[in-house]
Amino acid sequence: MHNHSSSSFSASHLPGIAATALTGALLLSGCGNGEDPEAELEEAQEEPTPLDAGDDEEETDGEDEPDSPEAEPVDFPGTLSGETAEYIVQILNAEEDSTAEDWENRLSETFRSEYDETELAEVINTGLRPAAPFTPTDHSDTGDASVTHLESEDAEVELHIQLDEDELIELLVFLPPQEPAEEATSFEEIQQRLPELPGDGAMLVLEDGEELLGINTDQAAGIGSTFKLYVLLALVEAIEEGETSWDETLELAEEHMSLPSGNLQNEDPGYEVTVQEAAQAMIEISDNTATDLLIDHLGRDAVEAAVEDSDHHDPELLQPFLTTRELFQLRWGAPELGEQFSEASDIEHRREILDEVAELPLELEAADITDDDGAARGLEWFATVEDIADLLALLETYAEEHSELRTILSENPGIQAESPWWDYLAFKGGSSPGVVAGAWYATDEEETERTVVFIASGDPQGISTATMEYFGLATNALELEADSE
C-alpha cells in the first residue's frame, strides 16, 4: 500500500477474520473481508473523483463545458506484474464477461483460499466491468508487485497486484485513488499522527522492556483475528502439560466449518490435519476453520485459562471465548441471538446463547459479511495493546523450548522490509468491520527485542480508509532507531 525508504507495505498485510475489505473498495487477497463487491464499487463511485466532481458543482447557465482531454494510456513494462496488470485490464475491457477459464493457473493457493476462479470472475463481472472500459493512465512496478491507475467515464480506481514466488497472483486489489502516507521519521511524529486518524487508535512500542511510545495503552478494543494468539498460547500450554502434541492428528467435522479467511473450510468433514498444521494455518493465513478446530480440540475453558495466564487486564472480556463460527452467526447469521448476547447480563447467560447458536447450520457466505456495529455491541474479542504485548512476550518464552512457535509466527511477517535490522519477526494481525489490529515481536542476534502493537476501532468506513496508514505507522515504529525523537 505504502512505499517507505526502508520497507514497503501493501494491502497484502490486511489481516482479517473474514475476507476483510476496505469499505468503498474491492479487495481480493489472502486476507480479505467479504463485503459485497458490487456494493463496494458503487460506494467508491459515489465519492467525487477527478472525473466526477459530485452534485455540488455550480450551474454553468446552460453553457457547455469544454470536454476534458481523454486520458492517455500508458505502456505496460515487460515485468511479470506488468504483464499481469495488462492481462487484467484486458479482462475488464473485454466484450464478453470473464469466466473461470480466464483465471486458471493464475491464482495462488493463498488467494484461492478466499476466492476461486469462478468467484473471482463473478466479482469482476458484477463489481468492475459495469464501469468499463478502463484506461490505464499510470503504472508503477517492482517486478513482482505493481500499482496501476485506471480511469473510465464512471470510475477511477487503483489496481494493486502482488505475485508470489511461483509467479501466481497472491494479491489483487481495486482501491479508490489515494495518496500514500508519508513515512514517519520519529516516534514523536507517530505520537502526533496516530490520534489524528479515523477511529480510536492505540499503539505501544517496547524495546527491551522499555516503552518507546505509548498511546492509549490501557484502552480495550476489538482485536479481530489477533485473538488467535490466545488460542496458540492455550495450545502450547496443553503441549507442555502432555495433553496434546504438535504431531497429533485432528479430524475436521461439520461444526468446525467457518468462513474465510483460510483453506480448511473447503475440505470435507473427515479431513485430517496435524495440530501443527492447523496452528500454522491459523496464524499464517488466519484460517478460521483451523482456529475453531483447535479451540474444540483444546476446550473453550483451556483457552479462557490461557487468557488469564497471559495477564489480560480483564479476562471476562473474553468470556465466553468465541469461535469464529460463533461470531459470524451472532453478527450476521442469527442477529437476534447476537442482540441477546450483547444484552446478556452475565457470562453464564451468554454461554446458554452459544448453546443455541451451536444448533444452527452455517448458511452464510462471504458476501453476507457487511459493515455492522457488532464490535461496538461487544461481539468481538477485546484486549489492550498492553495485553497483546504481554501475550507476545509469553509466547516468546515458550518458543525457547518449542521452536515450532517461531516457525508458526514468522511465516507471514506482515511487512516487506528492504533492510530489516531483525533476524526474527513474529506477526499476527486482525480485522473485522470497524476493527483493525497488528502485533509484531522482533529480535536480532544481539538479542535486542522490540514489540509493536496497534489497535484501532470505530466507524467501519473510517477504519477501512485509515487501515493502510495505521499499518504504515506500525511499520515505521518497527524500523525507527530507539533514540528517534
- Specify whether 305 is located in the same domain as 404: no
Which segments of 329-403 are extended strands (E)? 382-383
Q: List the pLDDT tens digit at each of the 485 positions of the chain.
A: 222 222 332 333 333 332 222 222 344 433 333 334 344 334 433 333 222 222 333 333 444 444 444 667 888 888 888 899 999 999 999 999 999 999 999 999 888 887 889 999 998 998 899 999 999 998 887 777 888 999 999 888 989 888 887 889 988 888 877 666 789 999 999 999 999 999 999 999 999 999 999 999 999 999 999 999 999 999 999 999 999 999 999 999 999 999 988 889 989 999 999 999 999 999 998 999 999 999 999 999 999 999 999 999 999 999 999 999 999 999 999 999 999 999 999 999 999 999 999 999 999 987 788 889 999 999 999 999 999 999 999 999 999 999 999 999 999 888 766 678 999 999 999 999 999 999 999 999 999 999 999 999 999 989 888 888 998 899 999 999 987 66
- Specify whether 368 is located in the same domain as 328: yes
- Specify whether 39 is located in the same domain as 95: yes
What are the angstrom distances between the C-alpha of 54 and each of 51, 154, 179? 9, 12, 20
- Specify whether 19 is located in the same domain as 149: yes
Domain containing residue 159: CATH number: 3.10.450.280
Domain range for 117 is: 2-48+71-175
Domain count, the chain: 3
The answer to whether residue 406 sits within a structural domain is: yes
- Specify whether 88 is located in the same domain as 33: yes
Task: Give the amino acid at 401.
Answer: E
- Specify whether 103 is located in the same domain as 140: yes
pLDDT of res. 171: 86
86-140: pLDDT as tens digits: 999 999 999 999 999 999 999 998 888 878 899 999 989 988 999 999 999 988 8
Domain containing residue 428: CATH number: 3.40.710.10
**b/e burial code for range 362-396 (CB count within 10 A of at least 16 → b):** bebebbbbbbbebbbebbbbbbbbbbbbbbbbbbb
pLDDT of res. 162: 85
- Beta-strand relationship, 449-457 and 249-251: unpaired
- Specify whether 214 is located in the same domain as 275: no
pLDDT of res. 372: 92
The answer to whether residue 234 sits within a structural domain is: no
Of 346, 362, 379, the last residue of a domain is 379
Rounded (5°) CA angle 83-85-89: 115
Of 337, 356, 379, the last residue of a domain is 379
Neighbouring CB atoms inside 10 A of 231's CB total 25
- Is residue 326 packed enough to be buried (19+ CB in 10 Å), middle (13-18) or exposed (0-12)? buried
- Specify whether 328 is located in the same domain as 446: no
The answer to whether residue 140 sits within a structural domain is: yes
The answer to whether residue 63 sits within a structural domain is: no
60-83: pLDDT as tens digits: 344 444 444 466 788 888 888 889
- Specify whether 35 is located in the same domain as 150: yes
Round to whole Å and give the CA distance between 60 and 160.
37
Of 117, 147, 175, the last residue of a domain is 175
Which helix (H) or strand (E) segment holds residue 139: the answer is strand 135-141
- Specify whether 417 is located in the same domain as 475: yes
- Specify whether 278 is located in the same domain as 328: yes
The answer to whether residue 231 sits within a structural domain is: no
The answer to whether residue 236 sits within a structural domain is: no
pLDDT of res. 178: 66
Is the pTM higher than 0.85? no
The answer to whether residue 319 sits within a structural domain is: yes
Round to whole Å and give the CA distance between 253 and 42.
38
The answer to whether residue 440 sits within a structural domain is: yes
Hey, what's the cell of 150?
485506471
377-408: pLDDT as tens digits: 999 999 999 999 999 999 999 999 999 999 99
- Specify whether 436 is located in the same domain as 409: yes
